[in-house]
Chain A
């Protein structure tokens, strides 16, 4: 069955020349978009059209287009990664939109994620948080056989679920406080659940949280919007674990 065609769409998009300039919304019209195309393919088609019209194409982040790299972003019609659940923007399809609709596209909005150009934001803040403690130190010795370290099945599962985080920043974009707690808690949890992560558990929780605060992310008020909008459905129970790890680390110092 052939995909339906959306005859006409209005795209209201945030345009901003660079980090310093003041941005504003521009509205473009695009015609004959297949409902089978992905959202980013629609953006590509729009950009070809803009180039032909002599307009600077819209800058947006994208890389693997398979929903696993965490590069694409976009706040579409009031939701990070648009009107679908458990998908990144590249996996969002045009069948989720109606003919004649005005689609509003904004960059992630957070003090810690400044806009570089148009829809591209600087997510270096996440890297800085990871550098503060999102690792295990392996200082010496050969590679041990994985099976020599006994790990309960449930712990391994929970760790893997937390490790599914691709660091796209949708949690920050979705949160009314621009809080990075879901991201940080996922990164703390996937190590905290494994024996290798126990060694640096206390300093990890402390360092990552203080880096997160320093970078200007807001606090968590448990609205659960992050979990609902996360393309990997990272659970907010990780946030409870981060709170626990952090309190434990502070009390024992």
Chain B
């Protein structure tokens, strides 16, 4: 096993598995957050957030998810450094745009920008909901159950700050571009690809990337455009 993890292919295997794990999380996270725009009273979203905060299975998954993020991020810097070392003298003139996509050549840059978004996102919502609390999170009672008013926190953030909304839209787009290469690339690295599946994975990956980018961009837009009234 140690041999596997020190080999180039083994290292990328870790990268693609952690990536696919995050792909699943991103879909679940989007599904839940779309509740924000399907019920203007906020009850649906609050119940969803409450369920995620109290469900034992989710509680177990939370640290695993954190670990998934850390592995994917730390590993990417390590691998990029290894790859960077493989070419000590760089080319004076490069013309790579015809041979490969911009996203595929800049996965670390895209991932790094998504990471910046992620940190601010966690400070904005996760930390407040989980640890520090916020006046907006005052308890509400839905169907006899007490829970945080997460809807108030999220909706007021986007209603009060267009800058934050634009930041979130950009975050969604960046993630989509990252996924446009990352999705099919993960299957390629796992060896689950051939001449038939190459284009299938790419089409599925592109559709997924667009759904994620649009899905996450719609939420701040919904509040910025005043559709919640």
Q: A83-B95, A213-B8, A239-B188 are in contact. List 14 more A-B contacts (CB 8 A).
A: A78-B94, A79-B99, A104-B93, A111-B85, A174-B96, A212-B8, A218-B83, A219-B8, A222-B185, A223-B105, A225-B105, A228-B98, A237-B193, A243-B190
A237 close to B85 (CB less than 8 A)? no
Question: With an 8 A cutoff between CB atoms, is B115 at the interface?
Answer: no
Q: Specify the chain A residue showing the minimal Cβ separation from B89.
A: A109
Q: Type the 1/0 row for A88-103, where 1 means its CB is closer than 8 Å to any CB of B.
A: 0000000000000000
A250 within 8 A of B: yes
Contacting B189 at CB < 8 Å: which of A110, A179, A243? A243
- CB atoms of A228 and B100 under 8 A apart: yes
Kindly state the separation between the CA atoms of A244 and B11 in the bound complex, as whole angstroms.
14
- What B residues does A243 contact at CB under 8 A? 9, 12-13, 188-191
Say if the beta carbon of B4 comes within 8 Å of chain A.
yes
Contact check, A78 vs B91: say whether CB atoms are below 8 A apart.
yes
Complex Cα spacing A212 to B185, Å = 21
Cβ-defined contact, A109 with B189, below 8 A: no
**A8 close to chain B: CB less than 8 A:** no
Give 9 closest A-B pairs by Cβ, nearest first: A78-B95, A244-B191, A218-B86, A177-B83, A240-B193, A228-B99, A243-B191, A223-B100, A218-B83
Contact of B91 among A75, A219, A225 (CB under 8 A): A75
Considering only residues 174-220 of chain A, those with a C-beta below 8 Å from chain B are 174, 176-179, 209-210, 212-213, 216-220
- Is the pair A110, B86 in contact by a Cβ cutoff of 8 Å? yes
Which B residues, 1 to 41, have Cβ-Cβ distances below 8 Å to chain A?
Answer: 3-4, 6-13
Given known contacts A110-B86, A243-B188, A243-B189, A225 and B12 CB-to-CB distance under 8 angstroms: no
Instruction: Decide yes or no whether A32 CB sits under 8 A from chain B.
Output: no
Partner of B9, one of A112, A115, A174, A246: A246
| Total number of B residues with any Cβ neighbor in A under 8 Å | 45
Contacts of B86 in A (CB 8 A): 110-112, 177-179, 216-218
The A-contacting residues of B in range 48-107, CB under 8 angstroms, are 79, 82-96, 98-101, 104-105, 107
Which of B191, B194, B195 is within 8 Å of A247, CB to CB? B191
Q: If A221-B185, A223-B101, A250-B4 touch, does A237 touch B96 (CB 8 Å cutoff)?
A: no
Q: How far is it, in angstroms, between the C-alpha of A228 and the C-alpha of B98 when the chains are bound?
A: 8
With contacts A77-B93, A209-B7, A243-B190 taken as known, whether A219 is within 8 angstroms of B104 at the C-beta atoms is no
Between-chain CB contacts (< 8 Å), 25 pairs:
A75-B91, A78-B91, A110-B87, A111-B86, A111-B87, A112-B86, A176-B83, A178-B86, A179-B86, A213-B7, A216-B85, A218-B87, A221-B185, A222-B188, A223-B101, A225-B96, A228-B100, A235-B195, A236-B188, A237-B198, A239-B188, A240-B193, A242-B9, A242-B191, A247-B13
Q: How many A-B residue pairs have CB under 8 A?
A: 143
Nearest chain A CB to B16 CB, angstrom units: 9
What is the CA–CA distance of A228 and B86 in the complex, to the nearest angstrom?
A: 20
Q: Interface residue count for A (Cβ, 8 Å)? A: 47
Cβ proximity bits B111-122 to A, threshold 8 Å, 1 near / 0 not: 000000000000
Contacts known (A109-B89, A240-B192); A250 close to B101, Cβ less than 8 A: no
In the complex, residue of chain B having the shortest beta-carbon distance to the beta carbon of A212: B8
Return the chain A residue nearest B10 by Cβ: A250
Residue of A nearest to B9 (CB): A246
Closest Cβ of chain B to A83, distance in Å, is 8
Judge whether A28 is part of the interface by a CB distance below 8 angstroms: no
Any B CB within 8 A of the CB of A48: no
**Interface residue? A10 (CB, 8 A):** no
